[in-house]
Structure 1
Amino acid sequence: MLQALRSGLVGTARCILTAAVLAGIVVPATADDSVYTNLDFDSCEILAEYEGGGFDARCPGYQGLPVFVSEGDARIDVDFGIDSGSFESFTAFNGPGETIEWRIDDAGVAAAILRFFIDVDGRSAQALVVSQVGHKGAPGCVVGVVDASEDQANGIARGIATMARYFDCSTDTAEVVAPAGSMVAQFNAANRLD
């Protein structure tokens, strides 16, 4: 199963790179690395509070890139770089972990990986959510979701992050990597087709 996933990721990467070459886009060689920051809610600026307990906040990220956190009905959406304006989260109650893994390549910050804790009716799960980092005029989005209980989950998430720079949030589809438990599979992304 893992081999099939790896083959799928390689195939997807080839399609993306082929499209980039045909479009005349130079795709730099990458030397992927990780940098870690904390998601510390005590350091966040509250931008808005909503009746019923929801909020929007801007938190410090990596090298001046802000992290936008929105909470509504005990569900969390996190955007990196700029606020995407879309609420992407799990159907079940959830919350983010404290550590953001920023994936860096030769062109700069390409993606962010954040662990989510999902809990409902005494059942729990964890997922790694891979997001493209947004920039002015180009909001990011969730690229992929990996069930954290799977073998090599961190490596799979990093593989997805490697392709995040080439993901088109307006046309490409966010993927929940199979196999995934039911609570992880119920991820609602603005660009996810079911």
Structure 2
Amino acid sequence: MASPFLIPPLFLAISLAVAAPALAENSSTYTKLILDQCQQEPLDPEDELQGGVWWCEGYGGMPVRVAEGDLRFLVSYGANAAEELAASQTVPSFNTINETLEWRLDASGMPIATILRFFTDLVEGQKGQVLVITKLGPPGQICHVGYVDALLNPDANVVARDVADNAAPGFVCGEEIAPAFGLTGDDARE
């Protein structure tokens, strides 16, 4: 005779699955980076390479600093955005940025990273597109954590979200180097 205290394993597994709340997942929300609608800092007449600095409002009112100089854009976040490592990071070639900024939010709704498409000038007049994943964190921990070639990877947005969700939280700005994820130009030449 079976003990009345033994619960069949299948019944237990089904009971726990039904009783356990569904795990919340990270999600995305979007804001616009339309520089004509942002606050521009006065230009420094002595800085010949500076194209401008703009302060835009991001998700939840977070400041977004966009700087352009020498035909390259640099984007950083937070009240001290100008001092963050992200303020000095860009992609290697001349570039412009997309107007849509994707914010990755953790299960509690806290922004943990952003994904922004950079349009690049490559050799021989070719154009490229790179998704730049930037970690958001406390002061000193806002930096690029990865890059995804948006033209070589048909699932580039999925790859970038995975990097934002899984690599960004543990990434240590200033100690680690942001790698390329997914297919790269080297893969295309093989």
Task: Report the TM-score range of the alignment, normalised by the length of the smaller protein.
Answer: 0.7 to 0.9
Match of 1:67 among 64, 69, 72: 64
- CA gap of 1:48–1:167, structure 2 versus 1, over 3 A, is farther
Give distance in 2, aligned partners of 1:76 and 1:134. Answer: 21
CA distance in 2, matches of 1:130, 1:91: 15
The residue number in structure 1 matching 2:183 is 179
Larger Rg, first or second structure (1 or 2): 2
Task: Tell me if 1:166 matches 2:163.
Answer: no
Spell out, residue by residue over 1:96-147, the C-alpha distance to the aligned partner (whole angstroms, 9 max, x if none): 1010010011241110000000014411100100001243x33400000000
1:134-186 deviations in Å (ceiling 9; x for gaps): 43x3340000000001121111000000021221113222111253237xxxx
Letter in 2 for 1:90: V
Choose between structure 1 and 2 for higher RCO, CA contacts under 8 A separated by at least 6 residues.
1
TM-score of the superposed pair, with normalisation by structure 2: 0.73
Query: 1:42 and 1:181 mapped to 2: Cα distance?
Result: 34
Query: Judging changes above 3 Å, is the alpha-carbon distance between structure 1 residues 59 and 134 closer, same or farther for their aligned structure 2 residues?
Result: farther
Q: Does 2:74 correspond to 1:80?
A: no
**Aligned equivalent of 1:128:** 131
**Aligned positions, number:** 153
Query: Structure 2, unaligned stretches of length 5 or more?
Result: 1-22
Match of 1:45 among 25, 39, 45: 39
**1:59 to partner: Cα distance:** 0.8
Counterpart residue number, 1:34 = 28
CA contact (8 A) 2:130 2:149 kept: yes
User: TM-score, length-normalised on structure 1?
Assistant: 0.72
- How far is 1:48 from its partner? 4.5
Corresponding residue for residue 158 of structure 2: 155
What one-letter code is carried by the residue in structure 2 that aligns with 1:174?
A: A
Q: Is the 8 A contact 2:27 2:105 kept in 1?
A: yes
1:155 partner SS: helix
The yes-or-no answer on 1:138 pairing with 2:140 is yes
In the TM superposition, what is the alpha-carbon distance from 1:30 to its structure 2 partner?
5.4
The percent identity for this pair of structures is 37
Whether the aligned pair in 1 keeps the contact of 2:35 and 2:56 (CA below 8 Å) is yes
Contact between 1:48 and 1:57, CA under 8 Å: does it hold in 2? Answer: no
Report what 2:106 is aligned to. Answer: 105
- C-alpha separation between the residues in 2 aligned to 1:30 and 1:171? 30
Q: Which residue is 1:15 aligned to? A: none
